[in-house]
Structure 1
Amino acid sequence: MNELLLYSVEERIATISLNRPEKRNAFSPELVSELTQALLRAAEDEQVKVVILKAEGSVFSAGADLAYLQELSDNTFEENVRDSENLRKLFTTLYYLPKVVIAQVEGHAIAGGCGLATICDLTFAVPEALFGYTEVKLGFVPAIVSCFLVRQTSETIAKQILLSGDLFTAGEALAYNLINYIYPKDEIENEVRKYALKLCSETSGNSLMITKQLIGQTTNPGLEKSLNIAVQLNARVRESEDFKKGIAAFLQKEQIKW
């Protein structure tokens, strides 16, 4: 069995790669846990100054995988609360990490995968990448990632994205302030590494850490309260008939009739 993640350090840059290309790098409980631990490993490594988050294969991440979705629909409320807390831990670890995290998005980033890509401090994407929060089309809600999204873009855009569930282009993601740069596929790796090396050589690691803390604590002081609400809503909606109907249709590859 392949490792779920690839982890390496070179020139003070830790590179973490999602490594489930056969599953479109979709989330599983194991991947969520291992990615959280990999981020914490980079945070604690004094030889690491910048983290690059990328993915193997043609898709950055398609969100939850089929087995994960089936599990969620069968879970008790308490089990779904624990699972929601694990997702919360992943995203808050990423958001509050004392090292700069750069996402290198060379394929589609959907649902939780979109959150993973856009919560990073800086996000580089290829023009072909599509983004989107498709949860409402499955009877689900993007509860946890929404707590970050509204701060990244406007409430108007957040409603447009979350309520429609439609995919949008890298160019639109740039206009929505969800990503920072767009580069062709044959240039993006070099550009990301060049940017990371510049941070390593031209900035103070302590200053980067404190600046991230300053931005996180002053622009989003109510984040933890919002996340507490989101965790409960995330678990509660999984008990709804719409969620069970949507997941069943998705798993059976049937068109959902809402």
Structure 2
Amino acid sequence: MTDAVLLERSGTLATITLNRPAVHNAFDDALIASLTALLADVEADESVRAVVLTGEGASFSAGADLNWMRGMAGASEEENRTDSERLAALMHRLQFLSKPTIARVNGAAYGGGVGLIACCDIAIGVFGTKFSLSEVKLGLVPAVISPYVVAAVGPRHARRLFVTGEVFDASHAQRIGLLHEVVPADELDNAVANAVALLWPGGPVAQREAKMLALAMAGQTAEEAHRVDIQNAALIARLRVSAEGQEGLQAFLEKRGPTWRS
């Protein structure tokens, strides 16, 4: 465990904070491992009724860490697949967590950061926040997070965002269903507290079953999601080592445009 992710308990509420503000809470191996482990801890803790997920500093999460991406660019397809399966396991754990989850979106979210938001039951963000699923600009796709993003915003919106990689704002995120509520920054904590208060009257067993019922009625089961996660991890691994993926990653790391833009 590292301090890349922090856990704070206040009564029956657990708050998990991504704690790499210097790099906008970008993902690396340590953050993925720590967040997965902390989610397992709160899952097993019967005293925890609800979980808030947020970021330290100006951003919620910028997605993949630059150094992590550099390492994956030089890794084999098998190594990339194993790495992607770890991220898939994190998203799966959050999506199917037996406790209600609230994303406190304090700032920008890109790539995997959008995936974390999509996996939460309730998502509240601040005006002015920017979002993007920009993987196509690197010759890649948002494979691992795709089932969760599509479930949150629907296939039509996902198709646009996946193929354009465009940046969109919090108001658009609310319109398409990624965020449930958008508030001024100084009202974010109150909005999250109000959402938490709505949870307390419900029975914890009933809430767990209600959450799984909603997922099941949408065709999502833990077993099927795991199968898709493995399939998507293989897809992104294949694309990372492809000619286009390698060019996109190298162009990004070298701060130049990829050849397909010329």
Please give the TM-score of this superposition, normalised by the length of structure 2. 0.94
Q: Once structures 1 and 2 are overlaid, which stretch shifts more, 213-222 or 134-143? A: 213-222
Instruction: Give the match for residue 74 of structure 1.
Output: 74
2:204 is matched with 205
Residues of 2 paired with 1:43 and 1:197: CA distance?
A: 20
Larger CA deviation: 87-96 vs 75-84: 75-84
- Which residue is equivalent to 1:168? 168
- 1:144 equivalenced with 2:144 (yes/no): yes
Match of 1:16 in 2: 16
Counterpart residue identity of residue 18, structure 1: L
Instruction: Within 5 Å, give how 1:1-258 maps onto structure 2.
Output: 3-200=3-200, 202-221=201-220, 222-258=224-260
Where structure 1 has 5 or more consecutive residues not aligned to the other structure, the ranges are none
Q: TM-score, normalised by structure 1?
A: 0.95
Q: How many residues align structurally?
A: 256
CA positional deviation for 1:75: 1.1
* SS class of match (2:15): strand
Inter-partner Cα distance in structure 1 for 2:65 and 2:211: 32
Q: Secondary structure at the match of 2:14?
A: strand
Secondary structure (helix, strand or coil) at the match of 1:6 reads: strand
Cα shift at 1:180: 0.4
Shift of residue 213, structure 1, vs aligned partner? 1.3
Contact 1:151 1:220 in 2 (8 A): no
Q: In 2, are the aligned partners of 1:54 and 1:104 still within 8 Å (CA)?
A: yes
The letter of the residue matching 1:52 is: V
Deviations 1:219-256 (A, max 9, x none): 13443333232111011111111111111121122233
Give the Cα separation in 1 of the matches to 2:149 and 2:7. Answer: 27
How many Å apart are 1:5 and its aligned residue? 1.1
Q: Show structure 2 runs of 5+ residues with no match.
A: none
Counterparts of 1:59 and 1:142, CA distance in 2: 20
Distance 1:42 1:204 in 2: 17
Q: Aligned partners of 1:40 and 1:220: how far apart in 2?
A: 24
Deviation at 1:217, TM superposition (A): 2.3
Encode CA deviations 1:3-47: one digit per residue, 9 max, x unaligned. Answer: 101111002110000000001100001101100111111111111
Distance across 2 between alignment mates of 1:155 and 1:56: 31
Matched residues in 2 for 1:40 and 1:193: separation? 23
Q: Tell me, what secondary structure is at the counterpart of 1:220? A: coil
Q: After superposition, what is the alpha-carbon deviation per residue over 1:86-106, rounded to whole angstroms, capped at 9, x for unaligned? A: 011000000000001100001
> Equivalent residue of 1:143, what SS?
coil
In structure 2, what is the Cα distance between the partners aligned to 1:115 and 1:139? Answer: 19
Work out the CA distance in 2 between the residues paired with 1:76 and 1:148.
Answer: 26
**Offset at residue 121 of structure 1 (A):** 0.7
Could you tell me how far apart the structure 2 residues matched to 1:101 and 1:251 are? Answer: 34
Query: Deviations for 1:84-133, whole angstroms, at most 9, x for unmatched residues?
Result: 11011000000000001100001100011111122211100001111110
User: Using the alignment, how far apart are the partners of 2:12 and 2:91 within structure 1?
Assistant: 23
